[in-house]
Chains A and B, each alone.
Chain A
């Protein structure tokens, strides 16, 4: 190889090492008590990298918030990140790295169901508590807590838990529905859940269409729906797809009643459609987070990251602030330590009644039951219609 070629490779490796050493600062020498190491695992690369970015940003914001007050119970928070690329194989790598190399005390993640399912046996083997913040696969509940994995917890509800309530709301307004769902674990799981829920309340499901995220042409399927002519449509999609979808929806002149699961009723969506803010007026979304629960969070996010609040960031923040942080505090108060076992035991016992998302308490299947919210877009603004506690 020529000298130039070798030089380039040498420079590339040197840059890589420099960026690597610079990018992840080693644990700052703590004055006094050792810091608490919190690991976040999400899709930092791959087609779902947008979710990992949201998680990372939220983690940094919440950690800074606590550290500005001297940490949790006087112990500083140190963040570590793992990349699961949205797949189970990489999730195994991410968890093992976070535990064995970064020595984290607790993990928050994995955002995507495949990754969650791959990580579950590993956190059990390594005996590290993991708090799931967004994975929606119904099989997860069948495996955690008393069902076989005492180290995993889940804060977010899945659609099996939300569908019955939302369907009861929807049936007051429409008798026929078509579902548009993104073609991943979230969309497929939701579609199956609502299929069952609709049968129970007497809504006729006319059609279910799946689309791949990142494929921004919905016209053919919108035409199919126009043909089927349902009274309402249920959109299971995120803001980044939803905004393009709504433009084409209006282009075709569709005017069904709009219902959503995902991140349509969000600041992020309204920001993407700020050129036509009324494009989704009337849409009602079933969710468990909205900026109205914490207006300062939205402002802070926009100031720091220059883009609107991203739902996966908010979900990670919920898990961190309302489950993990109280557990850490309780563990330190009770045992003086915040090691993995102490945090795990504390998670099992915490009962935080008045968080913005509702009561945070894990049942014996390690599932929390936060509130479901019905959020409506009205006049280009978000309005909370109802707050419905979810039944175990």
Chain B
């Protein structure tokens, strides 16, 4: 039965461009655009949750890896005329390498220091991206980033980008699922929940943290590369601390450590502004208050709420 449900979900998601066009004629381009961003942010949030939710390290360096991948593809595609697949691969690899370079020294630190250290590196990355104008163009932005081309397949329409986003989300979700279940997942969780006990069981916390961190960083870079291929222009303003804040809101809103929760959180965060059409500053105030209430009262986020609804009487996992 579960296979049937997955198949139906899959079919609906793939057919979404046509369904949206039928249901909202005249607005389908905008909705598709929102869905593209939702898919990419969902994938990004999942990669972030690998580190925060599953090995328990509050990394604030994610914007830096997103940026490395984005600038990697942007510069290679516009300056060196690399084809899309090569540039995307480069983005993934460069971001993964950056994660290794960051992770090795950072993971020696304890929790608070790790958070601050990764934050510091993210800030330095943004400052460099803004000021090393000869290399990154700085605030003058990298322009003319070409559309993705895989062999003869050229992605240039909204539907095409939507399927690209959907595929990305699906692949990342599959990877996330694979990494966080089975023995590997249990090892991650052991490191997250009780480091000393994990070490005594011959699970090296550093190795597992580095593994999650590197994969997450590489994924962030890949998503960054896809993002700039869609928007076509890359400015250093996309690499700010706000991205970390947004990702934190997404995963905490949805449910840290839960695949469904994180995807729902990302969707809610991206789609909410469109539903709550209000002055942007007011919206930010609502976000802040919502986040405050949720993290205090419902630290398991929406996922926790849904699970509690489905299994009353079971005590929610406190934080």
Chain A contact residues, CB within 8 Å of chain B = 1-2, 4-5, 8-9, 12-13, 15-17, 19-21, 23-24, 44-47, 49, 83, 86-89, 92-93, 96-97, 99-101, 103, 113-114, 117-118, 121, 126, 137, 139, 183-185, 187-189, 210, 212
Known: A9-B294, A97-B30, A114-B237. A23 touches B278 (CB 8 A): yes
Give Cα A89–Cα B229 distance, bound, in whole angstroms: 11
Once the chains bind, are A87 and B297 in contact (CB under 8 Å)?
Answer: no
Q: List 19 A-B contacts (CB under 8 A).
A: A2-B297, A8-B289, A19-B282, A24-B277, A86-B237, A88-B234, A89-B231, A92-B33, A93-B37, A117-B143, A117-B232, A118-B231, A118-B232, A137-B140, A183-B130, A184-B139, A187-B139, A210-B131, A212-B130
Chain B 116-141, CB within 8 Å of chain A: the 1/0 string?
A: 00000000000000110100001111
Give Cα A184–Cα B308 distance, bound, in whole angstroms: 49
- Chain A residues with CB under 8 Å of B259's CB are none
Chain B 10-26, CB within 8 Å of chain A: the 1/0 string?
A: 00000000000000001
Give min CB distance, B314 to chain A, whole Å. 14
B107 located at the interface, meaning its Cβ lies under 8 Å from any Cβ of chain A in the complex: no
Known: A17-B276, A88-B232. A93 touches B139 (CB 8 A): no
Once the chains bind, are A12 and B289 in contact (CB under 8 Å)?
Answer: yes
Nearest residue in B to A137 (C-beta to C-beta)?
A: B140
Once the chains bind, are B286 and A44 in contact (CB under 8 Å)?
Answer: no
Give min CB distance, B287 to chain A, whole Å. 10
Once the chains bind, are A118 and B233 in contact (CB under 8 Å)?
Answer: yes
Known: A185-B140, A210-B131. A16 touches B233 (CB 8 A): no
- Contacting A9 at CB < 8 Å: which of B37, B143, B274, B293? B293
Give min CB distance, B290 to chain A, whole Å. 6
Nearest residue in A to B304 (C-beta to C-beta)?
A: A1
Nearest residue in A to B316 (C-beta to C-beta)?
A: A1
- Chain B residues with CB under 8 Å of A188's CB are 133, 138-140
Chain B 282-298, CB within 8 Å of chain A: the 1/0 string?
A: 11101001100110111
Give Cα A89–Cα B141 distance, bound, in whole angstroms: 12
Chain B contact residues, CB within 8 Å of chain A = 26-31, 33-34, 37, 130-131, 133, 138-141, 143, 227, 231-235, 237-238, 242, 274, 276-284, 286, 289-290, 293-294, 296-298, 304-305, 308
Once the chains bind, are B298 and A5 in contact (CB under 8 Å)?
Answer: yes
Once the chains bind, are B141 and A185 in contact (CB under 8 Å)?
Answer: yes
- Chain A residues with CB under 8 Å of B33's CB are 92-93, 96
Once the chains bind, are A88 and B276 in contact (CB under 8 Å)?
Answer: no
Nearest residue in A to B32 (C-beta to C-beta)?
A: A96
- Chain A residues with CB under 8 Å of B131's CB are 183, 210
Across the A-B interface, the 3 shortest Cβ-Cβ residue pairs = A5-B297, A20-B278, A100-B30
Pair count A-B, CB < 8 A: 127
Give min CB distance, A32 to chain B, whole Å. 24
Known: A113-B141, A118-B232, A137-B140. A1 touches B297 (CB 8 A): yes
Known: A88-B231, A93-B37, A114-B235. A45 touches B289 (CB 8 A): no
Once the chains bind, are A101 and B30 in contact (CB under 8 Å)?
Answer: yes
Once the chains bind, are B281 and A45 in contact (CB under 8 Å)?
Answer: yes
Give Cα A5–Cα B297 distance, bound, in whole angstroms: 6
- Chain B residues with CB under 8 Å of A89's CB are 37, 227, 231, 238
- Contacting A83 at CB < 8 Å: which of B26, B138, B141, B280? B280
Give Cα A14–Cα B33 distance, bound, in whole angstroms: 27
Once the chains bind, are A117 and B141 in contact (CB under 8 Å)?
Answer: yes
- Chain A residues with CB under 8 Å of B297's CB are 1-2, 4-5, 8
Give Cα A23–Cα B285 distance, bound, in whole angstroms: 15
A21-B277, A24-B277, A93-B37 are known; give 17 further A-B pairs, CB within 8 A. A1-B298, A1-B304, A8-B289, A9-B290, A12-B290, A12-B293, A45-B281, A88-B141, A113-B139, A113-B140, A114-B141, A117-B232, A183-B139, A185-B235, A188-B133, A188-B138, A210-B131
